[in-house]
Structure 1
C-alpha cells in the first residue's frame, strides 16, 4: 500500500485493516482503565464545567441595570467607534476570566406603540456604576442617560388572560468569522431597524438585541488564520471532498493552498479563485487590526393574543403577523453583506434567551463592524425615537457645592449629581432667572428664599401670582414667625402700612427721591394716559404735601386738587417760590380747566385707593414697617399681590411702590461702612412689572451690588422687557439661570452660553432642568446644566399659623396715632 495515498485512501482500499488499527490504538490508550470509569470521569468533568459556567453567569448578571440612552440633537457618526473602542478596556486578565468570567453588555433596540423607539444598554452588576454612562457622554456629547435598577426584560411579559406569541431568531455569520462584514453602509442601519418596526399595534413589541463582550487577540488570530488559509471555502467537508478527488484523479489536480492567497501553479489553477482568495485574505488581515468583540444578534417580535376561545384562529393570525415583523427586522441586516454576511437561525426558547440575555459562543466582530450595527441613529427626523432635550454639562470644579456663605440652586444632572450653589459674594452681582410657567422657576425661588431665611439674611419678596408666598409660608419653621411681615391682598385682616410719603421715616433728604420714584412709577404704569401736565401736577402736589408738618399720604392728593378749602390751608404755608407760582397759576384756572388737567391723574388714584387693602397698605397713615430693619436684621417680608384679586395695574403699582421703598432703605446704607452692611435679597417674580424706579436699571443694579443687596429677577420671556430693562439686566445681572425658553429667546441668550450650549439646548430643556452661567469670585465660569430640587412637603396649618403670628405682632407694635386726615383739618 502506497503511504502517500493519505489516510482516506488507505481507509477506502483496506477498510478492515484500518478499523483494526484504530481499535488497537484505542485499547492501548485506555490500558487498564475501566471504560465505565472513563465515562464517569468525563461526565463529572462536564458537570463541573457546566456548574462553574452557570455560577459565573449568575454572578456576572447579578444586580444588572438598564441604561436608557436619549439621543442628542446631533449625533456624530464616529461616536459608536469611540464608544466600543473605549469599552474594550473592560477585558479582564486571563486568570480573572478563568476564575470569574468576562462580563458582556447588551445593546438593545426596542419599539412599542406606548413608549416609541428606545435604545437601551443592559449592564451587569460586575461593571462599576457610572462607567457606561460616562462612556456614552464622551462618545455622544449631549446624550442623556436614565439608569434603572434592576433591569427590565426587553419584551413585555404575558398578562392575565393574554398570552404572547414570540417570533424571531438569531443572526450568525454565514462564513468564517475572520471575514469582515460591510462597514460602509450608505444609509443608517438603526433608522432602517426602527422604521421596520414602525406602526405596531397596541400591545405589540419588537426588539433587536446585540450581546457583546471583548475577546483576546488569540481568538482573533485563530479566526484570521482560518479565514485566510483556505479562503471562503475552507471546511471539514471540503477537505474530505478534496481527498476523494485526489484519490480518483491520482493526484493530478492542484495542490491545497497552504497560506492566504497562495495557490500552487498546477494545471487546474483558476485565476478568478486566486483573486477571490487574495481579496479574502486581505480583508481578513484588515479585520484583524484593532480591538474585537464576541457578539450574538437576536431579534424578536411579540404579539398579544387573547385566551378567549371564541376568537377565530387568533394564534395563527398572531404568528403570521409576528413572523412578518421579525423577518422585516432580519432583512435589514442584509445591508451588512460583504466578504461575510448574516444568516438567520431559529432558536428554541427564543423569548427566554432574550429575557435572560445569555451569550454563549458568539461571532468575532471588529470595532467598526460592531459600531455599524450598534450605534445611535444619525437621522434627526426619526419619528417616535426618545431624544434628549438638551445636552447635559457638568459644572466646573470651582462651582461651590453649598455651605454657610452660599445660596443653593439645585443638583448637577451629570456624573455623581453633586449639589451646586452660588457664593453670597457672587450673588451680589444679581441672578437673572428666565423661563415660562411650569418649568421650575418658583421652586428655585422658594428654595433660595427659605435658605436666606434660615441663614438670617434679610429678604423681601414681591409675588404677583400668590403661589410663591404660599409655598414659602407653608414651609417656614415656626421659630421664624416673629421675623415675618406679610402683605396679603386676599386677607381680611389689616395689612402693614408702608407709606411712601412718610418723611419722618426716610428723612427730609430722601423726600426728593421718594417723590421722583412715586411720579416715575405712576408714569410708567399709566404711560398711555400720562402727559407732561399730569406729571407736573403730581410732582408739585406731592412736594407740597411732604413739606407740611405731620404725615402725608396719597389719600391727601385728591383732596388737595379738588377741595379749595383744604388746598388753601395746605398751600398758604408753602415757601418754595416755584411751588407758590404753580399754585397761583392753578388757582387762576376755571373749574372746567382744572377738571381736564387733573382728570387723568385722579381717575387712576381713585381706582387705586378705592381698594381697602391698597388704602391700608399704602395710604393708611404713618408706616408701621421699616424696610431698613427687615434688610439689616434678617427680616422676612412677603408681599402676596395676586393679579386676580387686585387687578394687573393695581398689583403692579403696589409692588412698584414696595420696591421703591426698599430702594430708599438700601440707598440709606451708603452712610454705613461697607464691612458693616449685611447681605440681603430682593426677590421679584415677574420682575418687569416692578422695576419702575426713577433710577436707571443699570445704575440700580450696579449700586445695589456695592450696598450688598442681591436682586433675583425672574420672568417668562425677553419680550416682556423694554429695551432699557433688557440691556441693563443683560449687562449687570451676571448670574444667568435659563429654563426652557422659546427659540427666539434662545437665539439671544445663547450668546451667554456659546459654545458650550447652543440655541437648541436652551429651547429644549426639560421641566425643572436649567442651564446656568454663574460667577465664581467675580469671574465667569463655563456654563453647566442643573435640575432644581423639589420642595419639602408643605406642613399642614403652617401658613395660617405664621400669618396669624405676623398679624398679632403687627397689632401689638402699631401705635394708636391720630388720623392724618383729621390732623390736616386742624391746619
Structure 2
C-alpha cells in the first residue's frame, strides 16, 4: 500500500513526468496503482482473508440475531381478528382495506431498531367450514384493524380470538410457498370477470372429518430497499431491457433477454412499461404466500390426499398469471413457519394494493362453500339517545353492543308514544319487559303486566323490592291465596261498560258471534246495570245466564224498566217459544258458561264487588296478571286479559277529570298483545288518547301474522318506539322501512340472542335506528315471591258478596 501512495505522490509532484502522462493517459496511473495494490494484497492475503471471513460471519450472525429479536418482539401480545363476511361483499372492499393499512409503515429510524410489523391474512378450512382471520402483532392497534375491516366491508363483523396453530399436530402434511417467478416490477392479473377466489374455495370443498387446509398471506408495507430495487428494474425496463429472473431451468429457457433496441420498438414492450409504472404508482406490500393441506389418516392414502389437496390449492393461484406468475417451492416442515407467522428473511414478493387485494379478500360469491356469514351489523346509538341513571327519568332498555357499550334508555315523555316489541320466543322480549317494569316499580310509576305464559310474572315476583307489598295486586291461577276480584260490570258509565264487554266477546268469538247474539248480550248487560243503578244491588257477569235462562229472575227485574227499547226487547224475548229462545241465547250461554265454569275465572271476575281499584294501580300501584293458557285455556285467558285491559282503559279515561300535571305516568305491558287488544274502538284512537292520559302501552308479540290488518297498521303508525328482536325473513322485509338506512332486512333477520334493532324517539323526534343488547335481570331474592304472594293475597282477597 505504501508503494501505491508513493506512486501517486510522484505522479503529482514530478513536473512533466507521470502527471503529464496521467493527464494525457490517465489509465496508465491507475494501472500502476492497481498493480501495486494487488501486489500488496497478495503479500498479506494469509492475514486478511481470515479477518474478512470473520467480519462477514460476525455481521451475518448479528443480522440474524437482530432479525430474530425483532420477530420475537413483534409476536408478543399477538391477536387474531376473525372476520365474518357480510351478506353482500363490496367488490373493491379489499383495496380499501389494504390501502388504509398501508399506514402501518413505520419511520425509517423505528424500522432500523424494531423492524416493520406485518399482518397475516389467513384462509383456514376445517370440516366445519371456512374461517377468515387476520393475525396482527401486539404492536399493531387492534381497534384500527377492526375498524378498517368494518369500513372496507360494511356489515362485516369482527371478533378477537387468541392465536392458535393452523395445522393439527400429528397429521400428514403437504405444504409449499408461492414466489413470483419473474421480477417484482412485472404485474399479476387483477382484472377478473368473476371472483378469483372461486377456484381456491372449490379446491377446499368436500373435506373429510380428518382433513384441514390453509392459505397464509404474510404482508407488510414495503420499505425503501424493496422500492428502490423495483424502481431500478422499472428504469431498466424503460431503457429496453426485458427483465427476467427465472426461478427454474424451464423459466430460464422460456424468458430470454432481447436486445434493447428491438425491445424499445416492440408495441408489447410499451404496454409492459405502462403496466409496471401503474403497479409502482401506489403503496406497495411485501408478501409471502404459504399453503398447506393435512390428513389425519395413516398410510399412503393420507399422503396422496394431502398432496392432492395442496396441489389443488397451489393451482388455484394460476388464475393470477399475466406478465408475472407464481412459482411453487416445497416447504418440508410447515407447522413452525405457519404457526409462528414470522416474516421470511429472504426477499419476498412485491405486490401493489390491487394485486394484494385480488389475493387476500372476502369471497364475493353469496354461495361461497363453507363460509360463515355475519349476522346483523352493530350500530352505535345516536347522540340524542339518553343514558339511564338513577332518578333521571330514563327507562333502561339495554346497552350499546359496540363501541363504549354505554347504556341506552327511553325517557318517560318519549315512552308515552308507546313501545312496540316484536321477536321470536327466547330472543329477549321478556327480559326487556321485566327490566322496564322493575324500573317503573322503583320510581313509583303505575305498572300493569299481562303475561299469558307465566314466566314473566314469576321472574318479577322474585325480584320486586319488599317495600312494594302494599301496592301489589296479583292475579295468578296457581296462587293458593284467594284471588282478587275485578267485577267487569263495575263502572259509572253504563254505555262504556256494555260496549267493552260486548266488543270483547265479539272480537274473541268472531266466528260464532252474529248480530242477534250481539243484541242479546248487549240487552242483558244493560238491563242488569240499569237495575243496579235503580236498586244499588250488586250485579256481576254471572247474572247474565240467570237473566236469560230463569223466568222468575226476569219477572223481578224487567217490570221496573223505564227504557222503552229494552222493554220492547224483553217483550219480543218472552213472546218466543222455548226452542226458539234456546236457539237465540245459545251462543251467548255456551260462551259465558264455558268461562264461568272455571273456578278461578268466576272468582276473579264474578265473585262479588271489585277488591282493588285500577285507578289506584295507575297512580303508582302494581298489577301482575299471570294468565297461563295451559292452566286456564286459551279463550278464558284471552277473556280475563281483555277484561283487565278494558278496565285499565276505563281507569285511564277517568283521568280526564284531573289536571294533566297531576297524572302519574303508568305503563300497560301486554305480552302476546294480539290476544287482548279486543276493545270495540280503533287502536290508533286508543293509543293517541292514552298518551294524553299518561298511560304508556308496551305491546309485544312474536310475528306480524299474529296481528289483524287493523291492529298491524295501528301499531305501526302509532306505537312510535320500535324494538325488534330476531325476525323471520318475511317480517324483516316488512319491518326494514322502520330501520333503514342503517339496518336492512338481513340485519333484522340475523340478530343475535338478546340483540335488538331499535328505532326510538329522542326528545319527541325520531332518531336513526341502532342496535342494542338487553341487560340481564338482577339475581332473584330467595323467598321474596312467597312473601309477596302472601301479602297480596291478604290485602286484595274478595269481600263477601251482597247478593239479591
Question: Normalization by structure 2: what TM-score?
Answer: 0.88
Cα distance between partner residues in 2 of 1:236 and 1:696: 82
Q: Distance in 2 between matches of 1:165 and 1:426?
A: 64
Alignment CA distance shift 1:237-1:180 (3 Å): closer
Q: Within 2, Cα distance between the matches of 1:411 and 1:47?
A: 55
Aligned to 1:4: none
- Pairing 1:138–2:170 present: no
Q: What does the per-residue CA deviation read over 1:544-595, in whole Å, with 9 as the maximum and x for residues that have no partner?
A: 2223213321111111222222222233433333333333333333333322
Instruction: Confirm or deny: 8 A CA contact 1:176 1:232 kept in the other structure.
Output: no
Q: Which residue is equivalent to 1:579?
A: 566
Name the SS for the 1:172 alignment partner. strand
Distance apart, 1:77 and its partner CA: 0.6
Is the 1:175–1:232 Cα contact (8 Å) retained in structure 2?
A: no
Aligned to 1:621: 608
- 123-132 or 368-377, which deviates more: 123-132
| 2:175–2:332 Cα contact (<8 Å) kept | no
**Corresponding residue for residue 123 of structure 1:** 136
- Contact 1:228 1:277 survives alignment (8 Å): no
Match of 1:86 in 2: 100
Select 1:489's aligned residue among 460, 471, 477: 477
Partners of 1:699 and 1:237 in 2: how far apart?
81
CA displacement 1:117-140 (0-9 Å, x = unmatched): 111111222222322221111111
5 Å-filtered alignment, 1:475-624, equals: 475-503=463-491, 508=492, 510-547=493-530, 548=532, 549-624=536-611
Q: Determine if contact 2:263/2:269 at 8 Å carries over to the other structure.
A: no
Counterpart Cα distance in 1 of 2:379 and 2:229: 44
Inter-partner Cα distance in structure 1 for 2:405 and 2:185: 44
Equivalent residue, structure 2, for 1:293: 285
CA distance in structure 2 between the aligned counterparts of 1:38 and 1:792, rounded to whole angstroms? 76
**1:347-394, CA deviations, whole angstroms, 9 ceiling, x for partnerless residues?**
343111111111134221110000000111111112321012333333
Question: Does structure 1 residue 70 correspond to structure 2 residue 120?
Answer: no
Partner of 1:151: 163
Change beyond 3 A, Cα 1:700–1:23: farther
Aligned to 1:805: 791
Q: Secondary structure at the match of 2:276?
A: helix
Report the equivalent of 2:183.
176
1:406 CA drift (Å) = 1.9
Matched residue, 2:355:
369
Shift of 1:27: 7.4
For these two proteins, the number of residue pairs brought into alignment is: 755
Aligned to 1:302: 294
CA distance, structure 2, for counterparts of residue 236 and residue 20 of structure 1:
41
Deviation at 1:275, TM superposition (A): 5.1
Pair 1:281-2:273 in alignment: yes
Q: Which runs of 5+ in 1 are unaligned?
A: 1-16, 239-253, 258-262, 306-313
Aligned to 1:243: none
Residues of 1 paired with 2:137 and 2:665: CA distance? 51
Q: Tell me which of 302, 317, 324 is aligned to 2:308.
A: 324
State the partner residue of 1:389.
375
Deviation at 1:793, TM superposition (A): 4.9
Report the CA distance shift for 1:282/1:517 in structure 2 as closer, same or farther (over 3 A): same
Unaligned runs of 5+ in 2: 1-32, 249-255
Residue 563 and residue 682 in structure 1: after superposition, are their counterparts in 2 closer, same or farther (change >3 A)? same
1:748 and 2:762 matched: no
Q: Among 344, 353, 362, which residue is 2:337 paired with?
A: 353
Say whether the 8 Å CA contact 2:450–2:641 is kept in structure 1: yes
| Native 8 Å contact 1:179 1:224 kept in 2 | no
When structure 1 is superposed on structure 2, of 223-232 and 613-622 the one drifting more is 223-232
Once the two structures are TM-superposed, the CA of residue 35 in structure 1 deviates from its matched residue by 7.1
Mapped partners of 1:480, 1:220: distance in 2:
75
Query: Partners in 2 of 1:70 and 1:520 — Cα distance?
Result: 52
Structure 2 match to 1:638: 624
Q: CA deviation at 1:480?
A: 3.8
Residue range with higher mean Cα deviation, 326-335 or 712-721: 712-721
Q: Residues 594, 760 of structure 1: CA spacing in aligned structure 2 closer, same or farther, 3 A cutoff?
A: same
1:658 matches 2:644: yes
Q: Distance in 1 between matches of 2:611 and 2:97?
A: 66
What do the CA deviations read for 1:307-350 (whole angstroms, capped 9, x no partner)?
xxxxxxx2432122111111110111111111111111223431
Mark the CA change 1:379 to 1:428 in structure 2 (over 3 Å): closer, same or farther. Answer: same
Q: Report the CA distance between 1:623 and its aligned residue.
A: 1.1
1:202 aligns with 2:188: no
Residues 183-224 of structure 1: CA deviation (Å, up to 9, x unaligned): 112332222212111111103111111111112455323213
Aligned equivalents of 1:560, 1:235: Cα separation in 2: 107
Q: Which range moves more in the overlay, 220-229 or 350-359?
A: 220-229
Per the TM alignment, residue 276 of structure 1 is displaced from its structure 2 partner at its CA by 5.5
Q: Which moved more, 1:446-455 or 1:668-677?
A: 446-455
SS at match of 1:702: helix
Are residues 237 and 788 of structure 1, via their aligned partners in 2, closer, same or farther at CA, if it must alter by over 3 Å? closer
Preserved CA contact (<8 Å) 1:533 1:597: yes
**Inter-partner Cα distance in structure 1 for 2:83 and 2:42:** 58
The residue that corresponds to 1:308 in the other structure is none
Using the TM superposition, give the Cα deviation of residue 417 of structure 1 relative to its aligned residue in structure 2, in angstroms.
3.5
CA contact (8 A) 2:183 2:245 kept: no
How far, CA to CA, are the matches of 2:414 and 2:605 in structure 1?
34
Structure 1 residues 301 and 481 mapped into 2: Cα distance closer, same or farther (>3 Å)? farther
1:763 to 745, 749, 755: 749
Which of 431, 438, 442 is equivalent to 1:443? Answer: 431
**Displacement of 1:794:** 4.4
In angstroms, what is the RMSD of aligned CA positions?
Answer: 2.9
* Aligned mates of 1:755, 1:725 — CA distance in 2: 26
TM-score, length-scaled by structure 1: 0.86
Contact 1:227–1:234 (8 Å) recurs in 2: no
Q: 1:591 to 1:452 in 2, by over 3 A?
A: same
| Contact 1:432 1:712 (8 Å CA) reproduced | yes
Find out whether 1:469 has 2:457 as its counterpart. Answer: yes
Instruction: Check the 8 A contact 1:434/1:715 in 2, yes or no.
Output: yes
For the residues of structure 2 that align with 1:286 and 1:786, how far apart are their CA atoms?
46
Tell me the SS of whatever aligns to 1:189. Answer: coil
Q: Distance in 1 between matches of 2:396 and 2:152?
A: 31
- Could you tell me how far apart the structure 1 residues matched to 2:498 and 2:300 are? 87
Q: Deviations over 1:600-627 (max 9, x none)?
A: 1111111001111101111121111222
Q: 2:227 maps to what in 1?
A: 220
CA contact (8 A) 2:119 2:136 kept: yes
Q: Aligned in 2, Cα 1:751/1:685: closer, same or farther, shift over 3 Å?
A: same
What is the CA–CA distance in structure 2 between the aligned matches of 1:73 and 1:193, rounded to whole Å? 20
Aligned to 2:213, what secondary structure does the other structure show? strand
Tell whether the 8 Å contact from 1:405 to 1:424 is kept in structure 2 after alignment.
Answer: yes
Deviation at 1:524, TM superposition (A): 0.7
Separation of aligned partners in 1, 2:191 and 2:739? 36
- The superposition leaves residues 614-670 of structure 1 with CA deviations (integer Å, 9 ceiling, x where unpaired) of 01111121111222212212x222111111111111111110001001111111111
Partner of 2:703: 717
Residue 772 in structure 1 maps to residue 765 in structure 2: no
Q: How far, CA to CA, are the matches of 2:57 and 2:557 in structure 1? A: 117
Q: Secondary structure at the match of 2:331?
A: coil
1:34-86 C-alpha deviation (Å, 9 max, x unpaired): 87776666555554444443333233222222222111111111111111111
Matched, 1:188 2:188: no
Contact 2:181/2:246 (<8 A) preserved: no
